[in-house]
Amino acid sequence: MALTALLSVRRKGFVLTPWPWRSVAYLLTTVPVAFAAGVPIALFMLPWAVLFRRLSTGDTSPVEASVLLVLGFLLVAGGGPLVARPLSIVERFRLRLVDDRPLPAMPGPVEAGLRPWLRSVYGGARPSWELAYAAVLVTLVPLLYGLVFVALMLIVVCIAAPVLVGDGPVTFGVATIVTPAQAVPYSIAGVAALPAVPYLLAITAGAHGAAARALLGAGPGAALRAELVEVSRSRARLAGAFESERRRIERDLHDGAQQRLVGLTLQLGMAKLDLPEGTPAAGAVDSAHRQAKELMEELRQLIHGIRPQTLTELGLPAALRELADRAGLPVTVHAALPARLPDHVEATAYFVVAEALTNVTRHSGASSASVTATGEVDRLVVEIRDDGRGGADPARGTGLTGLADRVAVADGRMLLSSPAGGPTLLRVELPS
């Protein structure tokens, strides 16, 4: 099924669909809307009309011309958006007649009151596009509709030419019809053109609707911006789902597999006590007991890597200090956070620091490092600094690229300074 009037004309059986009637309704309702918008806009442009008349007669001074020019600009810039905003609301509603695709939602003031409303009317790029559409509606649209009206009247006159010629000659441009016999070919041509009328009306209404959609959707590129917003939202949803799934896996491992492994280790320990030392059975049970303890330690480390218990219970500062204690070099931690941050922010910061310290230990040749975490008004800033050889380059490996991707998922950004010879500074900013 076609979603717009323009697309519908390509379908077979177009004349039998509702689109021709919807197009007619759109064209007819455009007239009062354009008139209602055109009257105040014409009043706003009245100083420019006076200026044009004075310039054409040469009866004006430079001062008067400047005053009229500035006055017209102030009226259009000040009053135009007040007309364009309600017009935009009406046109977005009327657009459903010729376009079934949803438009991006029109942002409204978050707070109630006059100031938020004025900011929504005069602030940003949307009012400019709304005013541009108002200008198109009162200038180009009447011209287009006038041409269509002339074409329709020409078809009607052609069909009725044999009747009209009885009241006197009928002139078609360079041709003049005097007798009914001469009017018959024109009448036949008019009847033959009738099937094209629904297509003409649908194309006209569809073109007007396409222009309205392009401008009232906050200008060209609005669809792409809306898709980018949706991509960002879906990315945040995926990140949230991933975090929830990671917590579920951690919980299942901790409460299920780890507890069963602890029970198995105890049972093997008890069995080892019941067997005589030095026997083959005692040796096999002792080996199994030792392997179970090693496996339990590996499982504990795995659970800690999925979601550190310290991070969950004590927060980011304590978790960062634990990372510093486990690092392969001296690490100083300065964490001044007034309160707990959202879980996904703390998790992102923790794993970024963990990966960064691992890279420092493996590749930088540093003798010491420092981690600083500070909470600002609306963001968390984490800096990892080391005194290594520097020269870190994301193009030479996937580690830094992976860190940047992890930060980007949280809608943050990562900055890197690593000149040859060091030091290296990695700065991560996360909205909180």
For the segment 303-335, what is each residue's pLDDT rounded down to a tens digit? Answer: 555 556 677 777 788 888 888 888 778 888 888
Least confident of 160-169, 175-184, 268-277, 360-369: 268-277
Return the bridge partners of 371, or none.
333, 384
pLDDT of residue 81: 83
* pLDDT score of 200 more than 90: yes
DSSP-derived letter for residue 99 is: B
111: pLDDT strictly greater than 50: no
Q: What is the pLDDT of residues 224-276, one digit of tens each?
A: 555 555 555 555 555 555 556 556 666 655 566 666 767 777 777 777 677 77
Residue 174: both structure tokens together: 């360079």
Domain 309-431 CATH (choose: 3.40.50.720, 3.20.20.140, 3.40.50.300, 3.30.565.10): 3.30.565.10
Q: What is the pLDDT of residues 45-74, one digit of tens each?
A: 888 888 888 887 777 778 888 888 888 888
CA 159 to chain centre: 52
- Of 328 and 352, the structure prediction assigns the larger pLDDT to 352
| CB-based contact 327:361 (threshold 8 Å) | yes
Torsion sign (Cα): 401, 402, 408, 413 = negative
pLDDT at 203: 93
pTM to 2 decimal places? 0.53
Q: Residue 126: its pLDDT value, please?
A: 66
On whether the CB atoms of residues 383 and 371 are closer than 8 A, the answer is yes
Q: Which of 131-145, 207-221, 296-310, 359-373 has the highest mean pLDDT?
A: 131-145
Convert the pLDDT of each residue in 20-29 to its tens digit: 999 999 999 9
**Eight-state DSSP code of residue 195:** T
* DSSP per-residue codes, 234-285: HHHHHHHHHHHHHHHHHHHIIIIIHHHHHHHHHHHHHHHHHSPTTSHHHHHH
CA angle at residue 340 from 375 to 429, to 5 degrees?
35
Instruction: Extract the tokens encoding 207.
Output: 């073109």
Calculate the average pLDDT of the chain: 78
